[in-house]
Amino acid sequence: MVKIYKLILLLFISYVTINAQDITVQSYTDSARYYVGDYIQLHLELKYNKRIKPIIPAVKDSVKELEFIKNLPIEKKEDGDNVFEKHTFIFSKYDSAEIKIPPINIYYTQGNSGDQKLTQTSEIKLTVRKILVNADEEIKDVKEPLEINLSPWIIVLIVAGVLLLALLGYYLYSRYQKKKANIIPEEKPIYIPAYNIALEALQSLEGRKLWQKGEIKEYHSEITEIIRRYIEADFNIPAMEITSGELMISLSEVITEDKEILDSANRFFENADMVKFAKFNPMPKVNEEMMRQAYDFVKKVKEIKERNNGAAING
């Protein structure tokens, strides 16, 4: 009986070890010491089985002590059933300090399971120092001043060249002024309805696949800005300058006949605020639902506006 228990325990330990090896993550910098203003490259490497689907977080929002500069292109290689993925983020620091980059949380799913699991990198410590300057040393030129001996003829040619350039510049400027006086005024810009502008912006955002790339906060910021600008254009509400709660109160005053669209808009702004301000990391289906709600809101508001305009004409 004891042998059977030992065998079961050995099989369980072997399963856990194999499962843990399905994904490994690490983060590191090129150095542990930098000077103020240097570019600090933070690398995030993942090695995982193709059955694993990792979710890359918004690393630039996690590193609070450094100034984010930009992302470098993602490196991705496949070797049989294994995938190697490398993300590089460039930061900088403009004051001396001892920096601690916290562990980066990597959530992932395995196979067809929707359950999220967590692994994380180790903490990184680095130092940013000021450039030392010896104030007692005499300031010197990098090179000695260079003497140029020019003959009188070369000086005459240089002066003549400068005068010719000045005359040419005056001629071109005078010609430009004459043409400018004869320019026909431009036609007035064509009016594009707010509905079309909002739909094109949503289609563009959907095509960029931000949340699929891990840029979830940017995705939610942009989609809410599109809807706020649409509301501002169609209802003359200062949607870009007020909170979501104040915006919903204003919307309920102009949309009085469709409670369903108000409830959908309220859920839309609540989800976006949780991502932007509460660091909420939504499931993929929430991100997809946000886009669907945005399209529905734009289309239903257009229908309400057309219905109201038709009633006003018939009245």
Which H or E run contains 25? strand 23-29
Task: State which residues of the chain have pLDDT below 50.
Answer: 2, 5-20
Same domain? 115 vs 71: yes
3-state secondary structure of 313: helix
pLDDT for res 9: 39
Q: Is residue 146 part of a domain?
A: no
* Structural domain for 256, as ranges: 194-314
State how many domains the chain has: 3
Pair 240, 296 in one domain: yes
Report if residue 270 sits inside a domain.
yes
Residues 26 and 114 in one domain: yes
Alpha-carbon gap, residue 175 to 169, rounded angstroms: 10
135 domain-assigned: no
Closest by alpha carbon to 215, among 57, 109, 67, 72?
57
Two structure tokens written together for 4? 């059977």
pLDDT digits (tens, 9 = 90+) for 85-114: 999 999 998 888 999 999 999 989 988 877
Looking at the structure, do residues 171 and 215 belong to the same domain, yes or no?
A: no
pLDDT of 29 reads 94
- C-alpha 118/C-alpha 105 separation (Å) is 7
- Whether residues 217 and 310 share a domain: the answer is yes
Q: What percent of the chain is predicted at pLDDT more than 90? A: 23
**Do both 160 and 259 map to the same domain?**
no
We report the CATH number of the domain holding residue 124 as 2.60.40.10
* Whole-angstrom distance, CA of residue 50 vs CA of residue 47: 10
Q: Please check whether residue 193 is in contact with residue 301, taking contact to mean a CB–CB distance below 8 angstroms.
A: no
* 302 and 204 belong to one structural domain: yes
Whether residue 11 is contained in a domain is answered as no
Same domain as 265, residue 295:
yes
Tell me the residue type at 91: F
Same domain? 221 vs 310 = yes
**How much is the pLDDT for 121?**
92
> Which pLDDT score, from 0 to 100, does residue 125 have?
93
